[in-house]
């Protein structure tokens, strides 16, 4: 039965790459990384009911389990190449595996990524994905590297994914009562995040530090600040929002979601002002665009500022009506 499931996955994920000398079917894969490059390797596990809602569409789970991993490669400026898939399934459900693999393969195909192995076991539903990619030697983007005077930027828009999550929950007004025209784009961002792979590659020679926004903008910028030994100021009025989010809620709610909501999988990065014009041009070509949202300062920690440069403190209480 396990063999049959693996065959199903293999049938969906059939992309061929010359650098896969031996893929699924032996005791280990044999891979040939290109000369002059480093391997970027990352792994992330998604657990049913924790990282996706219980009962989520298997196709979306397949997509998202790869997307969150590709986002980590994007944040390093790596070009994705290979993946491993560890599936833990409550039962040998061929239909689930077909749908899951179709969603996984859809995103893998967009990035010319080959599935080269994995493991299939029984237990509560969980998906572990490992991705491998290439980066020219010494050119990876890291959390360390931001310096005082750099601008702080983010790709795309922030806040949609957590707003999408609230759309699926009760007692999360206004999100639980939105009409379909606003709900649909927010839900899509939660179910099918877009890893900013092309943006990460474009930033390789231009950003001083980079991270993907998975836990929330302020929390993730906090990692850059700590690792780089600097402080970061974020201007709340500059945070980029989608048209749907702008219409869905009031400004204070929106800023709280944009600054603290996770799961957007945009890239947050720092860069010297000398690179700003080229970055904004390159990222608008890469499709997602980028916005300058703040600056790197001396000191420590991340501060969110309003238009008068007063600090906005996001208290737990500010979230209570969503709880
Ligand atoms: P072994 O017992 O030697 O670990 P398995 O039966 O677990 O072998 O796996 C056989 C082959 O199928 C291996 O190449 C393995 O990498 C691949 N494989 C197993 N599960 C998956 C999966 N969920 N996705 C992709 N490849 C898988
Ligand atoms: Mg095995």
76 Cα–ligand 1 center, Å: 28
Q: Are 282 and 201 in contact (CB under 8 A)?
A: no
Residues 6+ apart with CB under 8 A from 123: 88, 89, 90
- What's the gap in Å between 8 CA and the centre of ligand 1? 12
**Token duo for residue 294:** 């703040």
What angle (nearest 5°) sits at the alpha carbon of residue 297, between those of residues 296 and 303? 80
User: Tell me, what's the pLDDT at 170?
Assistant: 84
Ligand 1 nearest-atom number relative to CA 120: 20
Averaged pLDDT in 10-residue chunks for the chain of 323 residues = 90 96 96 98 96 94 98 98 98 97 98 98 97 97 98 98 93 90 96 97 96 96 98 98 97 96 96 97 95 98 96 66 44
Half-sphere exposure of 204 (CA within 13 A, CB side): 17
Q: According to the model, what pLDDT value does residue 2 have?
A: 84
Q: Given ligand 1 and candidates 120, 121, 130, which is best to mutate, with the most ligand atoms within 8 Å of its CB?
A: 120
The pLDDT of residue 322 is 46
Residue 302, pLDDT score = 97
CA distance 117 to 23: 6
Nearest to 130 by CA among 214, 39, 204: 39
List the structure tokens of 68: 């969150």
According to DSSP, the residues that pair with 121 across neighbouring strands are 88
In this prediction, residue 135 carries a pLDDT of 98
Ligand 1 binding residues, C-beta < 6 A:
6, 9, 24-27, 85, 87, 115, 117-120
Residue among 51, 45, 123, 128 at smallest CA distance from 85: 128
Q: Which of 9, 22, 24, 132 to mutate to test the pocket of ligand 1 (most atoms within 8 A of CB)?
A: 24
Which residue has the least CA distance to atom 20 on ligand 1? 119
pLDDT for residue 323: 42
Tell me the ligand closest to 26's alpha carbon: 1
Closest listed ligand to the CA of 29: 1
Residues 6+ apart with CB under 8 A from 267: 74, 75, 154, 155, 196, 199, 200, 203, 210, 211, 212, 213
Q: What is the pLDDT at residue 316?
A: 53
Residue 245 CA, ligand 1 centroid: distance in Å: 42
């Amino acid at each position: 039965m396990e063999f049959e499931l693996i065959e199903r996955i293999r049938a969906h994920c059939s992309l061929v790459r010359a650098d896969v000398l031996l893929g699924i079917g032996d005791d280990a894969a044999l891979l040939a990384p290109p000369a002059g490059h480093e391997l970027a390797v990352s792994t992330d596990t998604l657990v049913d009911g924790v990282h996706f809602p219980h009962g989520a569409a298997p196709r979306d789970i397949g997509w998202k389990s790869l997307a969150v991993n590709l986002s980590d490669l994007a944040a390093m400026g790596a070009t994705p190449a290979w993946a491993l898939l560890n599936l833990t399934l409550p039962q040998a459900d061929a239909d689930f595996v077909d749908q899951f693999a179709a969603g996984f393969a859809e995103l893998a195909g967009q990035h010319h990524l080959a599935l080269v192995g994995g493991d299939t076991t029984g237990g509560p539903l969980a998906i572990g994905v490992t991705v491998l990619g290439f980066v020219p030697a010494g050119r990876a983007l890291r959390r360390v590297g931001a310096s005082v005077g750099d601008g702080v930027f983010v790709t795309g828009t922030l806040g949609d994914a957590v707003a999408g999550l609230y759309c699926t929950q009760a007692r999360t007004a206004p999100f639980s009562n939105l009409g379909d025209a606003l709900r649909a784009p927010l839900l899509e961002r939660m179910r099918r995040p877009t890893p900013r792979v092309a943006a990460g590659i474009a930033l390789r020679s231009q950003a001083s530090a980079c991270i993907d926004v998975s836990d929330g903008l302020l929390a993730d910028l906090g990692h850059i600040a700590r690792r780089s030994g600097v402080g970061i100021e974020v201007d709340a009025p500059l945070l980029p929002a989608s048209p749907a989010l702008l219409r869905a809620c009031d400004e204070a709610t929106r800023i709280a979601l944009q600054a603290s909501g996770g799961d957007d999988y945009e890239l947050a990065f720092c860069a010297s002002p000398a690179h700003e014009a080229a970055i904004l041009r390159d990222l608008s070509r890469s499709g997602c665009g980028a916005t300058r949202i703040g600056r790197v300062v001396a000191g420590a920690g991340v501060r969110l500022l309003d238009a008068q440069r007063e600090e906005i403190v996001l208290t737990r209480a500010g979230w209570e009506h969503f709880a």
